[in-house]
Chains A and B, each alone.
Chain A
Amino acid sequence: MVRFIVRRLLVAVATLIVISLVTFGLFFAVPSSPARVMCGKNCTAEDIAQVEQRLGIDQPLPRQYLDFVRGVAVGRTYGSGDFSRACPAPCLGYSFRNNQPVTEIITQRLPVTVSIVAGGAVVWLLLGISLGMISALRRGTVFDRLAIGISLAGASMQVYFFGLILLYVLVYATGLLPFPSYTPFTENPLRWAVGLLLPWMTLGFLNSAIYARLSRAQMLETLSEDFVRTARAKGLSRRRVHLRHALRAAITPIVTIAGLDIGTSLGGTFITESIFGLQGLGKATVEAVQFLNLPVVMATVLLAAVFIVVANIVVDLLYAAIDPRVRLN
């Protein structure tokens, strides 16, 4: 177990180094000078050189990368003299557009995305798995057909479309809910939840469609397993057979997919964030791309990679926890 985790972490670190190298290369080796972009209009060659010096991009590329890694580990200082900017560890770069260390931007934006994804995941897992399970148990009934129909619609619907419908119905037309906003959980849990209800519903409903279909299929497969028949032959109640025996086995692949989905979503749920005007990581990334705010782009891309890599490890550990046949070494 410990060996497994250590080995996976080593692989993860290697993966992240490769990803950071690639992103680094992509963004800092592109022909369009980030300094020119940052300098704006009315910029002389002299001004650009100055910006380059402040960004540290007048150095050769390998040196820049080492500086970046060093910044992550121990922090660094951008520029010198009058224009020096401290960027404490873990320094993921300094955004001169925003005038703040990228790490600070991320720590501001991440809780928004985490909140959206956490609530959304609860909705989609609960709704999706219970819908899928009930339809599997009532296979062929009206409920089943309805659930399959709705989940087909859900799976093929766009976040944009569904989110806007919810906005019109619940906010613009009836005023049942306030327009979404983010309040930190620690500040006011109720306002946090109310403000995020719509994105949770949107993300939850649409993703639950996929989970409903998946868990229905898994559940049907499991229900035909011999061990389920054994459980019934023992005289267990339906409830116990379904929940403790069938669901336990059916849920394993769902955990895998949910783990990866959540990991991917944490990197940013741009469309959801954008429909509901929430300033999460996804919006930060896209805005950074629009404004060619390269340090932020790089950091968010890296962070998204971190989430996916970590999600993979977590999924593997969960898998081992659920299925005793899986051995972690």
Chain B
Amino acid sequence: MTDTAVPAPRRETGPYLRVEELRVSFDTADGVVRAVDGVSFTVAQGRTLGIVGESGSGKSVTSLAIMGLHDPRRTRISGRILLGGRDLVGLSEEGMRRLRGRDLSMIFQDPLSALHPYYPVGRQIAEAYRVHSPGAGRREARARAVDMLGRVGIPQPGRRFDQYPHEFSGGMRQRAMIAMALVNDPDLVIADEPTTALDVTVQAQILDLLADLQSEFHSAIILITHDLGVVAQVADDVLVMYGGRAVERGSVAQVLRRPQHPYTWGLLSSVPSLHGDADADLLPIPGNPPSLINLPPGCAFHPRCRYAGRNGTRSSTEVPELRQVVERGHLVACHLPEAERQRIHQTEIAGQGVAR
């Protein structure tokens, strides 16, 4: 795959984040874990990319690689991560540190464990501000943190400033987390399962908040989730990952309305639809996610794929490339002939409801 094979929205400035052929592996006692194996994508400012996949698909590893949070002694990273034109791969720890929290920041899944239990919430936000604003005094940092707490919808932010994480409700904590991520007005925000730990009504509020803030700050957002419903709600583009590889990519409409990869079909059918009989609808993907140390040969999904046998042994011997199908910008890595895929989608999958 080359750059030209990845069409991206053409803008004068180009996409803010461009990830090319990213590979991340860890050495462990059991062998080399290839957590991310050649993934490319781009995110432009003001746009939201949803990365979906089961746990172990490499989506979180990808985001941590962008943040530079992997332990450099145990992790091998290759490829390019271009952020506003700078390659983050191979950047010094100090260079990366200056970017983190300022140019790119991250919202974590479980705000209770992601916030330090011993420090007041406000101080943690102020700390994030002061580290990148060396001239800022304590009072200025406090004012900024209180302001951010207010903007993410926390009532009485001045009083809340001095409270500890355990004194916040789940949703409030995630709002605080978001406030912390946005305190330096970063150009890229990575939200790793930001709503998974929250109950449904709060989820919706947080997603709305993210969307509002994006329009306000004009940041690029990567939203990592296993929940296609969330993707459908806020993302512009979608990247589906399986076994450390991208299996399908495109706009939300392309991937969710007209999915082309059997894995995406599986994902979609395992999402409870908002209408109809939930039990009847739900069809989980059989089998377990693959081991990243011993990835199945050929298409990593083939042991779980109902259609893998339809073109001889090709699925189990040859790694499928990510290729454009049907529409511009919609890419799929699957050996099934296009016509076959269309037919199966039409007859077997389309009947299944998809959120939205």
- Interface residues of chain A, those whose CB is within 8 Å of chain B, are 225-227, 229-238, 240, 245, 248-249, 322-325
A-B contact count (CB 8 A): 68
| CB < 8 Å neighbour of A248 from B93, B118, B132, B164 | B118
| CB < 8 Å neighbour of B97 from A237, A248, A249 | A237
Tell whether, in the assembled complex, residue B128 and residue A227 are in contact, meaning their CB atoms are under 8 Å apart: no
| CB < 8 Å neighbour of B117 from A232, A236, A323 | A323
A225-B113, A226-B113 given as contacts; is B101 within 8 A of A233 (CB)?
A: yes
SS class, residues of chain A in contact with chain B: helix
Tell whether, in the assembled complex, residue B117 and residue A325 are in contact, meaning their CB atoms are under 8 Å apart: yes
Tell whether, in the assembled complex, residue A235 and residue B97 are in contact, meaning their CB atoms are under 8 Å apart: yes
Of chain A, the residue at the smallest CB distance from B105 is: A233
A248-B118, A325-B164, A325-B166 given as contacts; is B127 within 8 A of A236 (CB)?
A: yes
B287-313 near A? 1/0 per residue, CB < 8 Å: 000000000000000000000000000
Tell whether, in the assembled complex, residue A234 and residue B180 are in contact, meaning their CB atoms are under 8 Å apart: yes
A33 and B180 CA atoms in complex are apart in Å by 73
Say whether B102 faces chain A, with CB atoms less than 8 Å apart. Answer: yes
| CB < 8 Å neighbour of B118 from A234, A236, A249 | A249
Q: Which chain B residues in 85-132 approach chain A with CB under 8 Å?
A: 93, 97-102, 105-106, 108, 110, 113-118, 127-128, 131-132
Tell whether, in the assembled complex, residue A234 and residue B100 are in contact, meaning their CB atoms are under 8 Å apart: yes
A245 and B118 CA atoms in complex are apart in Å by 9
Tell whether, in the assembled complex, residue A234 and residue B69 are in contact, meaning their CB atoms are under 8 Å apart: no
| CB < 8 Å neighbour of A227 from B93, B113, B166 | B113
B162 smallest CB distance to A (angstroms): 11
Of chain A, the residue at the smallest CB distance from B94 is: A237
* List of A residues within 8 angstroms of B128 by Cβ: 234-235
Closest 9 CB pairs of A and B: A235-B101, A235-B100, A226-B113, A234-B128, A234-B101, A226-B114, A227-B116, A324-B164, A233-B106
A226-B108, A325-B164 given as contacts; is B116 within 8 A of A232 (CB)?
A: no
Tell whether, in the assembled complex, residue B132 and residue A235 are in contact, meaning their CB atoms are under 8 Å apart: yes
Q: Which chain B residues in 129-169 approach chain A with CB under 8 Å?
A: 131-132, 164, 166
Say whether B49 faces chain A, with CB atoms less than 8 Å apart. Answer: no
A239 smallest CB distance to B (angstroms): 11
Can you sample 9 A-B contacts with CB below 8 Å?
A: A226-B110, A226-B113, A227-B115, A229-B108, A230-B108, A232-B100, A249-B118, A322-B118, A325-B166
| CB < 8 Å neighbour of A234 from B113, B131, B166 | B131
A325 smallest CB distance to B (angstroms): 5
A8 smallest CB distance to B (angstroms): 23
Question: Other than the known A230-B115, A231-B116, what 18 A-B pairs have Cβ atoms closer than 8 Å?
Answer: A226-B114, A227-B113, A227-B114, A229-B108, A229-B114, A233-B67, A233-B101, A233-B105, A234-B100, A234-B105, A234-B128, A235-B97, A235-B100, A235-B128, A235-B131, A236-B127, A322-B118, A325-B117
A238 smallest CB distance to B (angstroms): 8
A225 and B118 CA atoms in complex are apart in Å by 13
* List of A residues within 8 angstroms of B117 by Cβ: 227, 249, 323-325
Of chain B, the residue at the smallest CB distance from A223 is: B71
A240 and B116 CA atoms in complex are apart in Å by 13
Give the B interface residue count (CB, 8 A): 26
Of chain A, the residue at the smallest CB distance from B164 is: A324
| Most chain B CB within a 10 A radius of its CB, from A227, A248, A325 | A227
* List of A residues within 8 angstroms of B132 by Cβ: 235
Of chain B, the residue at the smallest CB distance from A232 is: B69
A235-B128, A324-B164 given as contacts; is B98 within 8 A of A230 (CB)?
A: no
A24 and B131 CA atoms in complex are apart in Å by 62
| Most chain B CB within a 10 A radius of its CB, from A232, A245, A323 | A232
A195 smallest CB distance to B (angstroms): 39
* List of B residues within 8 angstroms of A248 by Cβ: 116, 118
A100 and B96 CA atoms in complex are apart in Å by 70
| Most chain A CB within a 10 A radius of its CB, from B101, B132, B180 | B101
A250 smallest CB distance to B (angstroms): 11
* List of B residues within 8 angstroms of A237 by Cβ: 97, 131
Of chain B, the residue at the smallest CB distance from A323 is: B118
* List of A residues within 8 angstroms of B114 by Cβ: 226-227, 229-230
A227 and B173 CA atoms in complex are apart in Å by 13
* List of A residues within 8 angstroms of B98 by Cβ: 235
A259 and B105 CA atoms in complex are apart in Å by 40
Tell whether, in the assembled complex, residue B69 and residue A324 are in contact, meaning their CB atoms are under 8 Å apart: no
* List of A residues within 8 angstroms of B115 by Cβ: 227, 230
* List of B residues within 8 angstroms of A238 by Cβ: 93
* List of B residues within 8 angstroms of A231 by Cβ: 116
A323 and B166 CA atoms in complex are apart in Å by 11
Of chain A, the residue at the smallest CB distance from B73 is: A140
